[in-house]
Chains A and B, each alone.
Chain A
Amino acid sequence: MTVMVEVEHLTKSFGALQAVNGIDLAVHKGEVLGFLGPNGAGKTTTMRMIAGFLSPTTGTARVCGHDVVTDPTAVKKVIGYMPEGSPSYDDMRVGAFLKFIAEVRGFTGADRDARVMRVMQRVGLVEVMEKPIEILSKGYRRRVGLAQAIIHDPPVLILDEPTDGLDPNQKHQVRTLIHEMAAEKAIIISTHILEEVQAVCTRAVIIGQGRVLADGTADDLLARLPDHTAVCVVVPAEASASAAATFRALPGVAAVFETPAKGGRTRLRLTPREKAPLIEAVNAAVKANAVPVFEVYQDGGTLDDVFRLITAGPAVAA
């Protein structure tokens, strides 16, 4: 795998505020990196520095071998960047705006026009190409932002909150587009929608207060939860006491929580002792003791829980 983006101990301070505090990252070709973090964590600032908009206080980023501090223009050439909220010149028409971007990106004449047309077809802008950007809906405006970012088919794509404020259909379209491009590029997206990480990202980095707090696949991150291997068992309400006693006796089980469920059933949540794998032991126990069950499933928590655990501390996640 080729390294496309290398971030080396990047810091940025605005006066007394330390927005980014020593971030190291490497993004490879074929990776879709999800950049997560609470608001104000430094996501946008980091992306702005990689894209060459802000200059780092210390540290640097290399994109396709070009150093953003010493040669920002070379870096900007190989990046497609969509700023947060995808601002574009509102009084321009969609087609004219994309033509302008294509020209700045170095395309001329028929090649330029063909590219503009191709990118408009790809993201679905052909029907509004003659409309001024200011009258477009949020979904279309976001597509304009995406179109300008991919018009030169860059090896590296940086998208700041690409699906923020879109409806579920539009989100799906954007994610499909990212999926389609993922194999050929290195893509960094920032988001605070955690389902998005599972939907499109091959890797997630959680940052908080300007530092990398966690880096791994969605599964890696889920494994960080203390009750990652927890199991839920749904039993008839009248059998819940005896079932709970059976499960409590299992060696890996730390505690059993009973909550009533619909239709005269009870849900038992079995939390593990020190991340012990439970599901097989529970299955065996169900069989051996002929516990009447409706459902048995692993319930290790969600990325939301991981996010809260990592960015707000264990007290909140518990």
Chain B
Amino acid sequence: MRNIWIIAKRELAAYFATPVAFVFIAIFVGLTGGFSFYIGRFFDRNQASMEGFFTYHPWLYLLLVPAVAMRLWAEERKSGTIEQLLTLPITTGEAVVGKFLAAWLFCGIALALTTPMWLTVNILGRPDNAAAAVGYFGSFLVAGAFLSVGICMSALTRNQIIAFIAGALVCFIFTMSGLDTVGNFLRGVAPEALVETLTSFSFLSRFDSLTRGVIDLRDLVFFASTMAFWLFAAVIAVDSRKAA
């Protein structure tokens, strides 16, 4: 645990070592607000609710989260610091989890900076604050799931651009599989059981119930096991391709 925290601290500081972190946070906060007002038609809905705000989070994460994750291992490989890091008395698992936690905390910071939106809704009306809190929690879980995919892709290459594109692509597949249009299309060509399996793996459908303020244990297990799976895959990727 101690080692994980030391790694995470260093990684988190590394995010803020360049202005990129602040640009990223500004874009995220700006876009979440913009999306809920312009595309989510926040005022037209005439509801004191955060649902319209959360709806677009997975779509934003699709581009932004792989960007956060892409450097985590690809950069270590490219600059050769992976050799420095992995000859310190830590395990690969500790390094992967430490980096993951740093990136997740970073996303958490960005998410926390959107709370003025929540305050605004509270000034304008009486929203269900418990539901909003669950929505934030769900959004944080989706970010974590996307990150675990991104860190695994980053562990597979020394090129950050490739890590970004591969991460975004895999996340896109996991997101799209939850859309009704995609589900309906698949129903036409694939057996029902397969379609059900695919859609049940979607981050989107899991996230939807959370934005409505419903905490289902199955959703929590889904996100936890998704993250565990991709992080485990990342450990294997780092270990097997160290010198590549």
Contacts and interface: CB of A to CB of B under 8 A. Distances in A.
A5 to B, nearest CB: 15
B88 A101 contact: yes
A73 B243 contact: no
A101 B7 CA distance: 10
B14 A53 contact: no
B6 A88 contact: no
Given A14-B243, A54-B243, A104-B3, A88 B81 contact: yes
A73 B87 contact: no
Interface residues of A, number: 29
Interface string A90-111: 1110001000110111100000
Given A54-B243, A100-B6, A100-B10, A73 B83 contact: no
Interface string B81-99: 1011011111100000000
A38 interface: no
Contact of A148 (B6, B14, B84, B243): B84
Interface in A231-275: none
B79 interface: yes
Interface stretch (A75-83, A166-174, A216-224): A75-83
Contacts, number: 63
A147 interface: no
Nearest to A87: B80
B1 interface: no
A103 B14 CA distance: 16
B242 A54 contact: yes
A142 interface: no
A54 B242 CA distance: 7
Contacts of A185: none
A258 to B, nearest CB: 52
B6 to A, nearest CB: 5
B95 to A, nearest CB: 10
Interface string B221-244: 000000000000000000000110
A92 B79 CA distance: 14
A301 interface: no
B14 A89 contact: yes
Interface of B: 3, 6-7, 10, 13-14, 17-18, 79-81, 83-84, 86-91, 242-243
